[in-house]
């Protein structure tokens, strides 16, 4: 095996290990801590989006450009989806408004 093949195999191994570890960590997070954790992962995803845009813009090689494009697409999906989910979860914690009570006599047609 040459150096580039070893580098690719090592990178894929680290990626698979990170994916498995991330899945197991998220699966075991209590529901109460899920929203702050999502906010943190959204920030990390935004950082990876900036990094992938830099890699895509530098055009090191065709291989790096393709991987940079894939990284930009995946990071963008992750950031947008994360913010949508976080917004939906934060709406669950807002107090519900009670329905307005009808004025006296309006509910029963004015009969007393």
pLDDT in tens, the chain (112 residues): 677 888 888 888 988 998 888 888 778 877 777 667 777 777 788 888 888 888 888 878 888 888 888 888 988 888 888 888 778 877 877 777 777 777 665 555 555 5
Determine the pLDDT at residue 107: 54
Q: Which residues have C-beta within 8 Å of that of residue 68, sequence separation ≥ 6?
A: 52, 53, 55, 56, 57
Helix (H) or strand (E) holding 20: helix 3-27
Q: Which residues have C-beta within 8 Å of that of residue 49, sequence separation ≥ 6?
A: 72, 75, 76, 79
Distance CA 29, CA 32 (A): 8
Determine the pLDDT at residue 105: 59
Count of beta carbons in the 10 Å neighbourhood of residue 73? 12
Task: Report which of 89, 99, 94, 51 is spatially closest to residue 72, judged by C-alpha positions.
Answer: 51
Distance CA 83, CA 38 (A): 8
Cβ 52 vs Cβ 75: under 8 Å = yes
Length in residues, the chain: 112
């Amino acid at each position: 095996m040459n150096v580039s093949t070893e580098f690719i195999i090592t990178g894929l191994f680290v990626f698979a290990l990170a994916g498995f570890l991330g899945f197991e960590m998220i699966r075991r997070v209590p529901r109460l801590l899920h929203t702050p954790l999502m906010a943190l992962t959204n920030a990390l995803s935004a950082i990876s989006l900036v990094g992938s845009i830099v890699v895509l813009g530098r055009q090191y090689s065709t291989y790096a450009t393709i991987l940079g494009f894939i990284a930009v697409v995946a990071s963008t999906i992750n950031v947008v989806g994360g913010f949508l989910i976080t917004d939906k979860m934060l709406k669950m914690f807002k107090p519900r408004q009670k329905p307005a009570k009808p004025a006296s006599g309006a509910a029963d047609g004015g009969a007393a």
